[in-house]
Amino acid sequence: MCAASMTVTVGGGASTRLWTDNWASVGPLHQFATTLFAAVSRAGRKRLLRDALHNNHWARDITGAPTTQVLCDYLRVWELLRSITLQPLQPDRFVWRWSSSGRYSVSSTYRAFFAGSTRLLGAKELWRAKAPPRVKLFFWLALHQRLWTSERRKRHGLKDEDACALCDQAAETGSHLFLRCVFSGLVWLALLGPLQLLPLMPVGDDDLGEWWIQQRGRIDQASKPLFDSLLLLIAWTV
């Protein structure tokens, strides 16, 4: 993680380790020349770039057997190091690629582990909703499609049939149970009708998370907490 996230802009070489820091264009030298690195003494592996380049001290740290691969790696590293010119008056600068300032922070590192991932739809709204914790956890599992519905139990070989326990007309998935089941539809009708929220009734093949976020966007800001709590509690009761 460090090798992939931190680069070093070399100045005087007084803070940069020759073998393990990511200062070269080829990446850390211990990964670029693995066989040669294995032949370097333990003290030599920690040598700073400034000290290593002084009188080619890095070559004296090689104590292992000079095998063919070691010699090949040696020539590759020699060719790389002979073109390095240090600037003694400039400090080495370590740059952390995951923050705009280039400085390391725990928060930017944490976010880096989730780079490229997608956020679960409705996750932020769920934890802000006013409902008992067990209801929130239940709905979190529903959004992840991890409730032990009949369809999932059949898929795991725990039962022979997957019909909905409430309507017996389709496979009992999470989305069917809360949005498409005839019985659940009657529950929604009975509860949303008195609140003048019938346009929010689930229809078609809506996904639970998509339907929730889409419908809460159609109501005013003041009514959203009520709608969120109502949705979670109705789903829990069903």
pLDDT in tens, 186-216: 988 888 888 788 888 887 667 888 888 888 8
Name the domain count of the chain.
2
Q: Within 10 A of 92 (CB to CB), how many other CB atoms are there?
A: 20
The pLDDT value given to residue 37: 94
**Does residue 116 register a pLDDT over 80?**
no
Q: What is the pLDDT of residues 65-97, one digit of tens each?
A: 889 999 999 999 999 998 888 998 999 999 998
d(CA 209, CA 218): 15
- Is residue 222 one of the residues assigned to a domain? yes
If asked whether residues 107 and 166 sit together in one domain, one would say no
In this structure, are residues 175 and 206 in contact, taking their beta carbons and an 8 Å threshold? yes
Is the residue at 149 inside a domain?
A: yes
Domain identity same for 42 and 83: yes
| SS3 of residue 163 by DSSP | strand
**Do both 40 and 78 map to the same domain?**
yes
Domain that holds residue 62: 2-112
Task: Find all residues with CB under 8 Å of 202, minimum gap 6, and list them.
Answer: 178, 179, 180, 185, 188, 211
Residue 79 shares a structural domain with residue 148 = no
- Tell which of 67, 93, 112 closes a domain: 112
* Residue 40 in this model has a pLDDT that exceeds 90: yes
CB count, 10 Å around CB of 178?
23
Instruction: Identify whether residues 127 and 219 lie together within a single domain.
Output: yes
134 and 230: one domain?
A: yes
Under 8 Å between Cβ of 70 and 62: yes
Domain C-terminal end among 80, 112, 144: 112
Residue 171's DSSP bridge partners are: 163
Q: Is the dihedral of CA 202, 208, 213, 216 positive or negative?
A: positive
pLDDT value for 135: 94
Q: Is residue 118 part of a domain?
A: no
Rounded Cα distance, 43 and 172, in Å: 64
Give residue 204's pLDDT.
Answer: 65
